[in-house]
Amino acid sequence: MMALVPYDRSSIPALSKLHDPSVEFHFANRRVRLTQDWNRLGVAAVVWDAAVVLGMYMELGQLELRGKAAIELGAGTGLAGIVAALLGARVTITDREPAMELLRANVQDNIPPDQQGAVTVSELTWGEGLERYPAGGYDVILGADIVYMSETFPALLRTLEHLSSGRTVVLLACRIRYDRDVAFLDMLRQGFTVEEVHYEAQRDVHIYKAAKRQTRQEL
């Protein structure tokens, strides 16, 4: 059985911040404070470096977000989706059912009241119930540290295929830990063009930008 946790936390002192009850950031001129709960919910309830780097990348303005329809997959505490919303996107922030309660609370706490209407939190387990989400209906798809379990790769790819049109920009922030993570990128390349657009050495996080290859019919 493959580990559900990307790291063995106890062996890496730098990861002790995962134990903090909350973590704080500044994005889009606002304080973002996220509640964490590693002991109860594990990987979905702590902020991973990939989300921080993806937030910084979006804040640099590399991608127009104002007025865009975005969806975050495997959002965990929701940092990337929250930053996209603060930068003006309409965002659907998703994860598996066990993550929902904390995710909803973090979104509620960090999105100003007048912007709450632009953010939806909803359950999305990759590959399941995709008909609840519009096919090709998003301008931007965000994923931070969601490539780590090979048994989820086919369902994650089906999800990206469903949600994307040829005009969708997919941004995946990844720490490459294992060969299988590279294998996912090769699988993604079968249906998408993929380019690395950013690397942050300090946190060892790569950002990949992907776009669905259009069929002849769509061109």
Ligand X SMILES: C[S@@+](CC[C@H](N)C(=O)[O-])C[C@H]1O[C@@H](n2cnc3c(N)ncnc32)[C@H](O)[C@@H]1O
Under rule CB under 6 A, residue 47 binds ligand X: yes
Under rule CB under 6 A, residue 152 binds ligand X: yes
Instruction: Give the closest residue to 164 by CA, choosing from 69, 45, 64.
Output: 69
What would the two tokens of residue 6 be?
Answer: 């990307």
Euclidean distance between CA atoms 31 and 180, whole angstroms? 36
Under rule CB under 6 A, residue 32 binds ligand X: no
Single residue of 35, 62, 120, 125 touching ligand X by CB under 6 A: 125
Q: Which CB atom, from 8 or from 114, has the smaller least distance to ligand X?
A: 8
Alpha-carbon distances of 41 from 50, 61, 101, 129, 136, rounded to whole Å: 19, 32, 11, 23, 31
Under rule CB under 6 A, residue 6 binds ligand X: yes
Under rule CB under 6 A, residue 200 binds ligand X: no
Question: What's the min distance (Å) between Cβ of 204 and ligand X?
Answer: 14
List beta partners, residue 203: none
Question: What's the min distance (Å) between Cβ of 99 and ligand X?
Answer: 5
Euclidean distance between CA atoms 27 and 16, whole angstroms? 23
Strand intervals (E) in the chain: 22-27, 30-35, 69-73, 90-95, 119-123, 140-144, 169-174, 192-200, 205-212
- The region of 45-53, 108-116, 179-187, 192-200 touching ligand X under the rule CB under 6 A is 45-53
Under rule CB under 6 A, residue 174 binds ligand X: no
Q: Which CB atom, from 33 or from 167, has the smaller least distance to ligand X?
A: 33
Question: What's the min distance (Å) between Cβ of 115 and ligand X?
Answer: 20
Question: What's the min distance (Å) between Cβ of 54 and ligand X?
Answer: 8
49-78 footprint of ligand X as x/- string (CB under 6 A): -xx----------------------xxxx-
Euclidean distance between CA atoms 124 and 38, whole angstroms? 21
What would the two tokens of residue 172 be?
Answer: 């995946």
Residue type, 113: P
Q: Which CB atom, from 119 or from 144, has the smaller least distance to ligand X?
A: 144
Q: Which CB atom, from 159 or from 218, has the smaller least distance to ligand X?
A: 159
Alpha-carbon distances of 105 from 70, 80, 93, 194, rounded to whole Å: 20, 15, 12, 34
The contact set with ligand X (CB under 6 A) reads: 6, 43-44, 47-48, 50-51, 74-77, 79, 95-96, 99, 125-126, 144-146, 152
